[in-house]
Each structure stands twice: as C-alpha cells, then as structure tokens.
Copies of this chain bind each other. A is one copy, B any other.
C-alpha cells in the first residue's frame, strides 16, 4: 500500500485525488495548500500548486519524499531537506471535465532508483504510459506542449473568428481538426503538411490575406514563411 498526501486542491490536485480513491494499493489525502499546519505522514507527498509557490511550500514539508507536478519547474526547485521527485502528467485538466488517466503520459523523475520505482508504481496504479524524463527534457516537453496545445488552440480560435465573421458554422471544421490531430500519430508532422503554403500557391495566399484582419495577416504570413522554409 502506498500512502499519498496531495497538497493543493486546484484542477490537478483534485482530479488526482479522485483518481487515487479508485486506484488499487493507494491511500490518498488531499489538503489545502494554505493550511500546512498538520501535514500527515505519507510515502509520497505531491505538491500540486502553481509554479511560483512550489519552492516555498516544499520548504515547509518534513515528509520523506516530496514531488511536484509541474512541467516547467526543475526538481531542484524543491526546498525540502528529504528526497525529491517530479510527478508530471502531460494533459490539460479542466474543472468540469473528467480525466481518463489511463491515457495520460506520466513523466517521472527522482533522485535515486528506489524513489523512481516507487513513483512508477504510483503512476501505474492510474495509467499505463510511464516515462523517465529528467528536468531538462521536461522543460523541452513543456515548450513543445505550448505549441501543440495552447498555440494550436489559438489557431482554432482564429478559425472560429473567421467562420463567425462570414456566418459559417465552425462545426464544419471539426472533422478536419480531428483528422489533423490523428494524422501525426502515424505520420511525421513535416510529411503530413498540405495546403497553399507548402505548395507555394501565391494566388491563394494573396486571396486568403485579403479576408483577414491585420493581426491574422501577421500570423498567416509568419507561419506560411516558416512552413516554406521548413523551419
């Protein structure tokens, strides 16, 4: 049996807590990060708070093994005097949407093999995709995630705006959005590219720019060039 304390009841903390309740071989306690007077003992203490308070909160924890859940914070930012680790789940967590942990990649890091194996066991109680990722790799992964998640979502947002302005239902684009996402599971993104940019179809590009506002034009032009330069 692995005992877990989760500090922080935001999106990540509360989804994780709920998942542990149904997991075999794990007992979990959830506590508010503003109430650290009595932190129960546990095999693993998971700090699930915003990046900028991880150091401060970890400095107050005396438990034996303390990990955080952040994609962009180094393992060395933890200021507890005991063992350290990272338990990073690469997925977006939304308040009112259930999370399928079985599909989530767990990116784990620890100071030594024994701690790593304990973290791995904990991750495997929820999911099946476990990766050993060090702090430098995790930072790169987090940047990459900004591109494939936040920036991609902004491409959807501009697509939505263009549709709305011309009275076209955005739902028409959903199958294309799904197919574009599914394609890169089997094809390198570079090989999956199609459209006027990669074809250098100047006439279409000119017509497209004509339909866009200034900000959209800037983005269209920069990404088109980047596609054409292959960079």
Residues of A within 8 A of B (CB): 51-52, 72, 90-92, 94, 103-105, 107, 129, 131, 133, 136-137, 139-160, 162-163, 165-185, 187-190, 192-198, 201, 203-204, 207-208, 211-213, 215, 218-220, 222-223, 226-227, 229, 231
Contact = CB atoms under 8 A, between A and B. Distances in A.
Contacts of A146: 195-197, 208, 220
A89 B184 CA distance: 21
B150 A183 contact: no
Contacts of A151: 155, 219-220, 223
Nearest to A193: B153
The 8 closest A-B pairs by CB, nearest first: A140-B166, A150-B195, A181-B181, A157-B189, A144-B159, A156-B189, A148-B159, A144-B162
- Report the copy number of this chain in the oligomer: 2
B152 A211 contact: no
A215 B190 contact: no
A159 B158 CA distance: 20
B145 A173 contact: yes
Contacts of A150: 193-198, 227
A131 B172 contact: yes
A208 B140 CA distance: 8
